[in-house]
Amino acid sequence: MPVNAPVLFDFIHLAPEIILSLWGLFVVMIDVALLRRRSSATRGRILGVMSIIGALAALASIYLPDMMDLGHAASNVEESLFQGTILGGLLVERLTALLLILLIFVIALSTTWDLTEHWGEYYALLLWATVGMILLIASEELLTLFLTLEMMTICLYIVTAFEKDQRRSAEGGLKYFVYGSVSSALFLFGLSLLYGLTGTTRLAAIGLALAPAHTSIGLVGNVAGAMAVLLVLVGFGFKISAVPFHQWAPDAYEGAPAPVSAWLATGSKLASIVALMKVLVQALGPWAHGVNDISSPGWVGIVAVISALTMTYGNFAALAQKNLKRMLAYSSIAHAGYMLVGVLAVVVGAGKSAAGPVLFYLVVYSAANIGAFSIAAWLYRDKGTDQIEDLNGLGLKYPILGMCVLLLMLSLIGLPGLAGFWGKFFMFSEALSQGDDRHKLTFLWLVGLGLMNSVISAFYYVRVLRAMFLRPSTGRPLQAPTLTIRLAVIGSAAVALIFGLYPQPLSTETDAMAESRIFITPSRPAELLSVSPVRVVPRPNASDDTRLRAGPIGGGPSAPPEPTPVPDSRAK
Amino acid sequence: MNDIPLTWFLIFAAACFVIGLMGVLVRRNAIAVLMAIEIMLNAANINLVAFWRYGTPVEGDSPISGVMFAIFVITVAAAEVAVGIGLILLCYRRWHAADVDRFDSLSG
């Protein structure tokens, strides 16, 4: 058994997760012990503020390894913690920070209206779901992967059904649960086959054990391997709501309280996409397709088809929606389709860290969705429904928020000058620059379809804007929004605008994050068996941008000799 | 001990898995669906333990990862049932039915 470092060291790296877990218990206890006699609304507000304090404490604790000088430059290096089950390093730290910031907005939105009496449990479950997401991103092994995935989704099943006096909330929760647990059973069976075929549960070791399988025929004749790949893809397809495993998403998003829908659309999807990339590249890389032949059996073809179906179906179904949350659900399905194109580019360009654009897209997409769902929360508070027609006249009555929503919707369409455009631009151009001619043809199809879909998506996003700016106000008037709604909408519009005008800082950051070793198919035993820090990830602020973009992976000044990634099919 | 070959376990696990999957697809009662999901999880457990017993661990890897996996899956399955029963009860109070195809107020 490889033993890494003092155990205390590992626990310090895990500080955000530990703080969040304990804080969840703390919040429940405070609710039960001290706030018994307060009204539901007061308890919601007090506990909301407390949960935000907990999230801020966790955010601060990310930098604990840096602050406590632990003998070596802690976060310059990607460590394997807890005997190679959990990853620590730049990528995980930054994504943890991102998830915690999103969580703070989600908690703040939850105080918009009195959605439940059980505030303590509600906030605790949100915090614990976040622990699951953070560990899902960091997991390096099948068991932790499965456990954290379940930790995330089981908490989310409950909060989806939390608005107990609403019929649709209970129904959304049950549907999410049934689809979710069936898909995790399928996923688990796939993992068990993968364990049987390779004899290990560590992702890098699986990739290494499968390396001899990287032959010219791909998965032909390998029934067990094909089953494992298919089942794993079904499991992840469900979590990222890819067609044909998307049926739960519209119902769960519509039924759940708006803050929870926001968390389903951002946190859960973000963590699952990163985990999908990690598993596909690190463990299943050799089964991507046969050497020299992208069309031979392997999962690249399957993922390409899923991606095409997902973006097309998501956009066409969104066109028909009248409910704002349901429309956003289909739009998030479509965005998952775009991101799968980016994921494919990561696989084909293994070692070139094409993951940066996908991470960029995830940041931009998450920020925009928080803003959009906070509008849904506002509608629901004042009108009790969240139909798009309830937005009528809102843009004229609240011009600043109206302009912010305008920016958000245009960014989601991908109009130039806004962050959403750069997200799509980086991701699609990365996809087109990968691989040889045969890859290019596949990617050309996918990117073309993606661009066509962006045009289609304009129709339903513009419907929101048309209701807001061109229709007279109808029905009960909206009351002034709470401070939390204003902050969420203005904040996410600011992200769309600032990173639209200056995408460079964010793309430099995401490119640095993408240098992580989890986006590289492992290639030689030395890299795998040494659990000591393997790669040096250059700090983005300590190095100039050009080197990060153009230099070899981990080519920092003090980098150890680098293992060359597996020569992909195009090299032969 | 070695009288039973590995393939028997795998066939048994695959059969359990298919039975569970059929149960999920065919049964309408939510409780029955929950039971079918449990069968699927247990099928995976049989696989894990069988592979652990008959396989040799990769060098540098824990020799008991297969059984550890199975133990944790049992825990997760318990948590899932608890949540599932809770959700089914919640829906039962509203619809006075536990059939999954009755819960159809959301669609489109």
Return the HEC string of B40-72: HHHHHHHHHHHHHHHCCCCCCCCCCHHHHHHHH
Chain A residue with CA closest to B61: the answer is A1
- Kindly report the nearest CA distance between residue A74 and chain B, in angstroms: 24
Mean predicted lDDT score pLDDT of chain A: 84
Q: Does the pLDDT at position A529 exceed 50?
A: no
- Give the closest-approach CA distance of B4 to chain A in angstroms: 17
Quickly state the pLDDT bin for A558 (edges 50, 70, 90). Answer: very low
- pLDDT at residue A408 above 50? yes
Is B37 part of a structural domain of the chain? yes
Chain A contact probe: residue of B33, B45, B52, B62 with most A CBs at under 10 A: B62
Is B59 inside a domain boundary? yes
Q: What pLDDT is recorded for position A11?
A: 85
- Residue A376 near residue A391 (C-beta atoms within 8 A): no
Enumerate the residues of chain B whose CB falls inside 8 A of the CB of residue A198: 58
Does residue A149 surpass a pLDDT of 70?
yes
Mean pLDDT is lowest, of A80-84, A136-140, A507-511, B52-56, for: A80-84
Residue B108 falls inside a structural domain: no
State the CATH number of the domain containing residue B99: 1.10.287.3510
For the cut 70, the answer to whether the pLDDT of residue A127 exceeds it is yes
Pairwise CA distance, residues B95 & B101, whole Å: 11
Residue B53 lies in a domain: yes
What is the tally of structural domains in chain B? 1
Determine the pLDDT at residue A76: 53
Q: Quote the CA–CA distance of A472 and A509 in Å, as a whole number.
A: 44
Give the pLDDT score at A208.
87
Q: Of A118-132, A221-235, A374-388, A520-534, which one has max mean pLDDT? A: A118-132
Residue A548's pLDDT is what? 34
Strand, helix or coil for residue A478 = coil
Provide the pLDDT confidence category of residue B59 given band limits of 50, 70 and 90. confident
pLDDT of residue A67: 74
Classify residue A367 as exposed, middle or buried by CB count within 10 Å of its CB (0-12, 13-18, 19+).
buried
Within 8 A of A188 by CB-CB distance, chain B residues are 40-41, 44, 73
pLDDT score for A570: 37
The Cα of A524 is separated from the nearest Cα of chain B by a number of Å equal to 14
Tell me: the pLDDT tens digits for A251-303? 999 999 999 999 999 999 999 999 999 999 888 888 887 666 666 678 888 99
Q: What is the pLDDT of residue B97?
A: 85
Q: Can you tell me the distance from the alpha carbon of A86 to that of A94, in angstroms, rounded to the nearest whole number?
A: 15
B60 contacts A201? CB cut-off 8 A: no
How far apart CA B100 and CA A281 sit, in angstroms, is 37
Average pLDDT over residues A41-67: 91
Does the beta-carbon distance from A195 to B17 stay under 8 Å?
Answer: no
**Poorest-confidence range of A25-29, A70-74, A470-474, A502-506?**
A70-74
Provide the pLDDT for residue A320: 92
Q: Which residue has the higher pLDDT, A263 or A526?
A: A263
The residue with greater pLDDT, A553 or B60, is B60
Per-residue pLDDT at A350: 57
Residue of A nearest to B73 (CA): A147
Q: Percentage of chain A with pLDDT > 90? A: 57
- Residue A555, pLDDT above cutoff 60: no
Domain membership of residue B23 (yes or no) is: yes
Q: For residue B19, is it within any domain? A: yes
Instruction: Identify all chain A residues contacting B66, using CB atoms and an 8 Å cutoff.
Output: 195, 201
Residue A352: the pLDDT is 61
* Mean of pLDDT values over A145-165: 94
Strand partners, B99: B29
Q: Would B30 be classed as within a structural domain?
A: yes
Of A401 and A350, more confident: A401
For the ranges A39-43, A258-262, A522-526, the lowest mean pLDDT is seen at: A522-526
Residue type, A377: A
**Is residue B3 less than 8 Å (CB to CB) from chain A?**
no
Token pair for residue A570? 């195009």
- Calculate mean pLDDT across residues A387-391: 89
B23 touching A (Cβ < 8 Å)? no
Percentage, residues of chain A above pLDDT 70: 84
Q: How far is A139 from chain B (nearest CA, A)?
A: 14
Contact predicate B59/A529, CB 8 Å: yes
Q: Which of A168, A195, A198 sits opposite B105 (nearest CB)?
A: A168
Q: Do A205 and B17 touch (CB under 8 A)?
A: no
What's the pLDDT tens digit per position in A425-458? 999 988 888 766 777 788 889 999 999 999 999 9
Do A52 and A107 contact (CB within 8 A), yes or no?
Answer: yes
CB contact under 8 A, B57 and A321: no
Q: Please tell me the predicted confidence (pLDDT) of residue A237.
A: 95
Which of B21, B43, B56 is nearest residue A199 as measured by Cβ atoms? B56
Is pLDDT above 60 for A462? yes
User: Is A249 in the B-facing interface, judged by CB distances under 8 Å?
Assistant: no
The C-alpha atoms of residue A16 and residue A5 are separated, in whole angstroms, by: 19
Euclidean distance between CA atoms A458 and A344, whole angstroms: 25
A177 touches chain B (CB under 8 A): yes
Q: B-contacting residues of A 311-340, CB under 8 Å?
A: 320-321, 326
B24 min Cα distance to partner chain A (Å): 8
Q: Span A37-62, mean pLDDT?
A: 93
Counting one residue from chain A and one from chain B, the pairs whose CB atoms sit within 8 A come to: 141
Nearest to B87 among A1, A161, A250 (CB): A161
What does the pLDDT read at residue A530? 41
Q: How many angstroms away from the CA of B41 is the closest CA of chain A?
A: 5
Domain of residue B18 covers: 6-103
Q: Is any Cβ of chain A less than 8 angstroms from the Cβ of B25?
A: no
Domain-embedded: residue B17: yes
